Amino acid sequence: MLLLKGARTFAPQDLGSVDILVGAGEVLAIESGMGPMPVEVETLDLSGFALTPGLIDLHVHFAGAGGEGGPLFRAEPLSVSSLLESGITTAVGLLGTDGYARSVMEVLQKAYALEAQGISTYIYTGSYKIPSVTITGDVTVDIMAVEKVLGLKIAIADHRSSHPTVEEFIRLASQVRVAGILSGKVGIFHLHVGTCPDPLSIVRETNKRTSIPLYHFLPTHMNRNETVLEEALKFALEGGNVDFTAISDMKRPQAHEAVLKLLEAGVSLDRITVSSDAGGSSPLFDPDGRLLDVKITTPQNLLNQFLRLLDAIGPERALAVFSANPAKRLGLRHKGKIEGGFDADFLIFDDAWSLRGVVAKGSLIWGKI
C-alpha cells in the first residue's frame, strides 16, 4: 500500500490538504490527518505539493502514424516515458491516414505493451477509410469482443477520407450504437474532422434521420482553423460533444483558446475535451493540395495546454476538460477523479505547477519526490 500525505488535492474539486491511502491500484481512503496504519505502508510526504487526477488522452497515436510524404515520414511508436513525463496515465490509441501498411492489431499490441509498463490503455478500431479496417472483420464484433476497443474512428470532411455517403455513415453509426448496447460500453464514433465546407453536416443529417443519440459522436481536431472552431461552437450549443487538439502550431487556434471561446459563448464545460494527437503527423499542404511539410506531434503538448488552461480558469475546471470529461466521454467510470474506489492515477505538481511525479495504478512510476 501507498500513503500520500498532506498534498493539496484537486479531485477535481479542491479537497484541501488531505492524506490518501492507496492499495491494489485504487483509492482506499481519503482523510485529513490519517492516523497510524495497522500494516506497513510506503509513505510519501507531499506537503507543499498539489495532487490531481492523471490526464486522460483520448486520441494518441502511440503505435505511430503519419506517412504523408512517403515511408521516411512514418512516425515511430511512442515510449511510455514520453507519455508519463506529459502527465498521461490513460491513453487511447488509434490509426490515422494509413490503414493499409498499419493495422488495428498493431495498435492493440502496443496498447498491451504500454499497459504492462504501468499505464492504462484503450484503442479505437478503424482508420480514416471505409470500409473500416478491424481486428475481427466486423466493427461491432471488435467493440463487443475486444475489451480495449471503445469505438470506431473514421475521417470526415477531409481530402484523405473515403468521403462516406450519409447512408454509409448511418450504417457505421448504427454498428457503433448496437455494439455499445451489447457490450455495456458507451460506443464512441470518433470522427477525424478535416477542413471541407460544413464539416459536421453528415452528423447533423444522421441525427435528423435516426434516433442515434448525439453522445455517440465525438468529432476531434475541432480547432483546426477558425471555421472549424465555429462549427465546434455551434455543435456544442446544439448538444454535441467536441474535442480539441493540443497542437503547438501557432497559426491555428490553440486548444486552451478554443475552450475559453466556447465557455464564453455559454457552452457547458462538460461538452469539451482536449487530446494530444501525439505520434501523428501534422502535414502542411499548399492551396493546390501539394504536401509542403510534415511535423510529428508530441505528448508534451497536452500537458502544456492543460497548464495554459489552468492559468485561465483554475485547476478544478481545467481538470474537468483533461481528466473528468474524457473519462465520462469514454465510459471509464473508475477514472478521471480522486475518489474512493477510483483508480489511483495521480499527478504531483510543485507550487509552481511543474510536474514532479506520476502515480499510475497506485505506484509512483515517474519522477522523484
> Which residue in 57, 142, 277, 345 is the catalytic one?
277
Tell which phi-psi region holds residue 266, choosing left (phi > 0), alpha (psi between -120 and 50) or beta.
Answer: left
Q: Which residue has the cell 502514424?
A: 65
Give me 27's grid cell: 483509492
Q: Cα 338–92–295 angle (5° rounding)?
A: 120
Rounded CA-CA distance 36/33 in Å is: 10
DSSP string, 13-57: SEEEEEEEEEETTEEEEEESS----SS--EEEE-TT-EEEEPEEE
The verdict on whether 277 is a catalytic residue reads yes
Rounded CA-CA distance 260/265 in Å is: 9
**87 — phi, psi (to 5°)?**
80, 15
DSSP string, 313-324: H-HHHHHIIIII
Q: Hey, what amino acid is at 182?
A: L
- The closest of 120, 90, 94 to 106, measured between CA atoms, is 94
CA torsion, ordered 123, 127, 130, 136, to nearest 10 deg: -40
Give the C-alpha distances (Å, rounded to integers) separating 332 from 15, 144, 366.
22, 16, 23
- The closest of 174, 232, 225 to 200, measured between CA atoms, is 232
- Active-site residues: which are they? 277
